[in-house]
Structure 1
Amino acid sequence: MDHYSDTNAALICLSHLRWDFVFQRPQHLMIQAALTRRVYYVELPMFGDWDDHLDIRTVGGSVQVAVPYIRTGFDAAESQARTAALLAELAEREHLRDLTLWVYTPMELPVAAQLRPALTVYDCMDELANFRFAPPELRPREQQLFRQADLVFTGGHRLWEAKRGQHPHVYPFPSSVEKAHFAQARAGLNDPADQAPLGRPRLGFYGVIDERFDTALITELARCRPDWEFVLLGPVVKLEESELPRAANIHYLGMKSYAELPAYLAHWDVALMPFARNEATEFISPTKTPEYLAAGVPVVSTEIRDVVRPYGEQDLVRIANRADDFEAACEAALAERHQPESRERQARADAYLAGLSWSQTWAEMETLMNEARGRKAAKTEAADD
């Protein structure tokens, strides 16, 4: 860590997602942050019969993932206080003086109680309070975080519209993409062993399969089109077995690493975003939208606000809701595959994606963070006069 020793610049990220879960916004941004400062990605605690301690490992080049191990037998408030003590010890031991607190989950805000961050950022990537099994304390905790935060980022424009009146400095940052990674799908990668035996055409989805996934839509599509193979990659979360679509042409291949995704995409004919339209999806901005397009696969999505605008309005993604309309959109995508229109659509998609990258997103965020630091400094100076 010698290259940080002059400034002691550091960032502590409180996340509700484990680093090794689906690779998305938090991981991309923290890898960017770690290029110029020490980054500690704090996961939710593990509870058991052990003394309180932090387990720290390095991932993604230089991000340090910190997992609190907390002794069982305490209520939630006491467990969070014990985690807070561990983080305070870490900050003291590592001399984290110029500290940015980066928060994904308001529920974990109490674990930062003993820290004295120079800047607090709330990266609101989802409306977590709308998700299945969300704790009732989440909304009041978020209000507390709004009062404490110097800066709020949102994971999309629809979410920005909902949050912009709750804080004076809220900025939208929709999902970005690592284009070169997904463009590997266009380079003729080998078909993965668990996918290779499946027939064509293949219509694929990767991501978390939970209450945001339109199970009824996939069930109906699979029934109507037994000649299509549906490939579903990702963990099943919060859904009972009885809720999952089941048919001979629906294939659950499990969770895949970020590195593996291009090989699966390379052998899909259509990439799907079959999101249910409910409370949990009202504010989402799917990371997979630009990822699918960067892979060069035609995309069909249900009517999600941050997919319709800009991707649907620019005719980069086909939008449909009802099963018959969604089927027709998939048929159109399949029919276009070897036509000039397909190359023209992909060229427009590539032109749009040219302006997107996680490094660019982080650079714009850093500019706003520096402005926020300036505002705090000016306030402090005015108070001292």
Structure 2
Amino acid sequence: MHPCIASGGATWVIFFSATPWHGGAHRQHAIARQLATTYRVIFVDPPGLRIRRGTSIRRVEHAIWHAELPTTVPFGRHLPAANSINRRVAVAVLRRWLLRDPAEVALVWLDEDLAAGCASRIDASAVVYDAADLDWTFTRRWNRRHLRRSLSRAVAAADLVLASSAALPARMPASRQTPVVLPNACDPGHFTPHGPTVPRPVEPGRPLIGYSGSIDSRAFDGELVAAVARNRPDWTFLLIGPSTRAGRKPLAGLTNVLLTGPIPYPDLPATLRVCDVAMIPYRLGGLVDYVHPKKCYEYLALGKPVVATPLPALTGMTGVVRLAAGADDFSAAIASTLTETTGPERVAHRRAVATANSWSVRGEQLHRLLAGLVR
């Protein structure tokens, strides 16, 4: 291994992300920023579905460069040959750009399964694969073989395999490296109990139940929320985030369910601060119940009480999060939470849990893993 890796600073991390840099404040962005405390990071956007001829690699933060590389052939997500061509072109562009700086490439970071072929084409000291999701579950059945094969290649290429949830490794292919769970986290400095608030969208005294995230049919349980909303017409449910037609369908006609649409990340705390209870109504037993929702820690950082369905990743948090399955139990859990007094001690306890699960704490854990990897 290269000795300069341990000292950091001069070496590069090539970060192949499944989410564009401008796609929001996701796990990929947070981890890239933690890596940037030691390395210089090139954050590579995924190829587009359509042809993109231009190349842009520019510094966006102190030690992070954002790379938008050519998409030579369309539909690489669906066609293995097209994906292979696009990745070869991307690596060639990156290697030419890196010739301007003789520094070593410490890590190839694979967040996107389809980028697995890039690992063998870049002379790096180590390869890290971070399983934030099961990408093959986000496509149609006819395309799953292509993506599952890419997942197997990414896992096989890695010297370190990470997983965002303790429920993920059992759903991943066998690998020569035992996956290490590095859970999602939050930025407690951004999600604080005190700060600006938006106008409360309900009359005083009417309970407001908040949710932030996608309103879709994969993870979000619209049927559950609709049933609870019908049970409790005296509550209002504020759903913050982008929505799909399938996600909105169960909620149609419910006047006590408000959809805000996407809200910029900087403005999200101000909207959540006006809510009395925050919820995570996710589906159970499906393709995505392995998730470890970072919104749980964001809610807690705001000091908000949380009611969630009993996802495997949340079952160890029963002391601070109220878990309930089914419309009746979920309604009862919210009702019980609304009757509790939220004093400074409760808020401080929730904040303490969130702070113990901050991205800076995850960054320390990550750097310890990388130090062991490069020795």
Using the alignment, how far apart are the partners of 1:128 and 1:227 within structure 2? 39
SS at match of 2:209: strand
Pick the aligned partner of 1:136 from 120, 142, 145: 145
Is 1:149 the counterpart of 2:158? The answer is yes
The CA deviation at 1:273 is 0.1
Using the alignment, how far apart are the partners of 1:213 and 1:230 within structure 2? 14
In the alignment, which residue of structure 2 is the partner of 1:379? none
In the alignment, which residue of structure 1 is the partner of 2:208? 202
**How do 1:197-276 residues align onto structure 2 when only pairs under 5 Å count?**
197-199=201-203, 200-210=206-216, 211-237=218-244, 239=246, 242=249, 245-276=252-283
In the alignment, which residue of structure 1 is the partner of 2:284? 277
**How do 1:93-132 residues align onto structure 2 when only pairs under 5 Å count?**
93-94=97-98, 95=101, 97-131=104-138
**How do 1:322-361 residues align onto structure 2 when only pairs under 5 Å count?**
322-338=326-342, 342-361=343-362
In the alignment, which residue of structure 2 is the partner of 1:19? 21
Residues 251-293 of structure 1, C-alpha deviation per residue, up to 9 Å, x if partnerless?
A: 1111122211110111000001000113233211110111100
In the alignment, which residue of structure 1 is the partner of 2:69? 68
In the alignment, which residue of structure 1 is the partner of 2:93? 89
Using the alignment, how far apart are the partners of 2:249 and 2:106 within structure 1? 47
SS at match of 2:71: strand
**How do 1:25-40 residues align onto structure 2 when only pairs under 5 Å count?**
25-40=27-42
CA pair 229-270 structure 1, distance change in 2 beyond 3 A: same
Q: Which residue identity does 2:370 align to in structure 1? A: M
CA pair 148-353 structure 1, distance change in 2 beyond 3 A: same
Using the alignment, how far apart are the partners of 2:298 and 2:290 within structure 1? 19
Using the alignment, how far apart are the partners of 1:290 and 1:270 within structure 2? 14
**Contact 1:8–1:98 (CA under 8 A) maintained in structure 2:** no
User: Which 10-residue stretch deviates more, 260-269 or 137-146?
Assistant: 137-146
Q: Which residue identity does 2:296 align to in structure 1? A: T
CA pair 239-102 structure 1, distance change in 2 beyond 3 A: farther
Using the alignment, how far apart are the partners of 2:256 and 2:72 within structure 1? 46
Identity across the alignment (%) = 28
The CA deviation at 1:57 is 4.1
Q: Which runs of 5+ in 2 are unaligned?
A: none
In the alignment, which residue of structure 1 is the partner of 2:167? 158
In the alignment, which residue of structure 2 is the partner of 1:378? none
Using the alignment, how far apart are the partners of 1:11 and 1:142 within structure 2? 20
**Contact 1:70–1:79 (CA under 8 A) maintained in structure 2:** no
**Contact 1:85–1:114 (CA under 8 A) maintained in structure 2:** no
Q: Which residue identity does 2:208 align to in structure 1? A: R
Residues 64-120 of structure 1, C-alpha deviation per residue, up to 9 Å, x if partnerless?
A: 221223245686423542343233332332245323111112122234452222110
**Contact 1:129–1:139 (CA under 8 A) maintained in structure 2:** yes
Residues 320-373 of structure 1, C-alpha deviation per residue, up to 9 Å, x if partnerless?
A: 1110111111111111145xxx54443433333342321221222122122222
How many corresponding residue pairs? Answer: 359
Scaled by the length of structure 1, what TM-score is found? Answer: 0.84
CA pair 169-190 structure 1, distance change in 2 beyond 3 A: same
Q: Which residue identity does 1:361 align to in structure 2? A: R
**How do 1:39-54 residues align onto structure 2 when only pairs under 5 Å count?**
39-46=41-48, 48=50, 52-54=53-55
In the alignment, which residue of structure 2 is the partner of 1:56? 57
**Contact 1:203–1:229 (CA under 8 A) maintained in structure 2:** yes
CA pair 119-219 structure 1, distance change in 2 beyond 3 A: same
